[in-house]
Amino acid sequence: FVKDRRALQLAHGRSDALGLVVPSGTDGWMIEVLRGAMEAAQAAHFTISLQTFPEERTGLDRMVSALAGSTYDGVLVVQPRERLDWLSKLAAAGLPVVVIDDHGTNPSLNAFVPDESTGIDQTVEHLTRLGRNGFALLRGSEDERTRYTTEIRQAFYLEALARRGLILRPEAIFPADYSVEGGERGTRELLRRGIPFDALIASSDAMAVGALRALKAAGVSVPGSVSVVGFD
């Protein structure tokens, strides 16, 4: 016996299928999101259809039409970096929509976002408890898609340090891609500048891995001379 999905949908009013829309790219964070979505869907006996945000307008129009005409019971959208009015219209028409890491870009939609203020404050508290007081920051990418995240995390770091009577000098802040390679390049540049620091904060875990590589290559002891923390 094989279940007829269309018959079940008519009988129960649902398809047990979800749409998952993600940005292009397969960094470590995105892989964790995909894995979590798959595990939760399978546990609930749902299937997931994966789509990526198209780069061209024609591709976007096709995706919007596909979602509007689909039998999905809901859609999960990961890291939109702009206002998605078409998605709000789908939600208003009755399609359940949830976004991850939206940061207020689409205020009419339900969203899950990281509590960056609390997490960053705990990061600085951890480092100061270790006796660190010379801070450097790999602040993240200047790319349009990640600029908001980059700027808000730096602002929270500055606030957390200020509450403890510490400052982050401008020359100890370096923009770097949210990647292992970006973290490695940024750390090499901080070392080249000769800036003394005993705490290095990276705005992603991938960047922290790159920082560790660069510090090891330079003969800097971690955590003997420098403590390294990655966020996210």
Q: What is the pLDDT of residue 3?
A: 53
**Strands, E assignment, 62-115:** 74-78, 97-100, 110-112
Residue-wise pLDDT for 41-80, tens only, equals: 999 999 988 888 776 767 777 777 777 777 888 889 888 7
Strands of the 74-78 sheet, one edge to the other: 47-52, 17-22, 74-78, 97-100, 110-112
**Rounded mean pLDDT of 125-153?**
88
Residue 78 near residue 30 (C-beta atoms within 8 A): yes
In terms of C-beta density within 10 A (0-12 exposed, 13-18 middle, 19 or more buried), how is residue 146 classed?
middle
β-pair type (97-100, 47-52): unpaired
Residue-wise pLDDT for 6-27, tens only, equals: 555 545 556 789 888 887 766 6
pTM of the model: 0.74
d(CA 163, CA 189): 28
d(CA 80, CA 76): 11
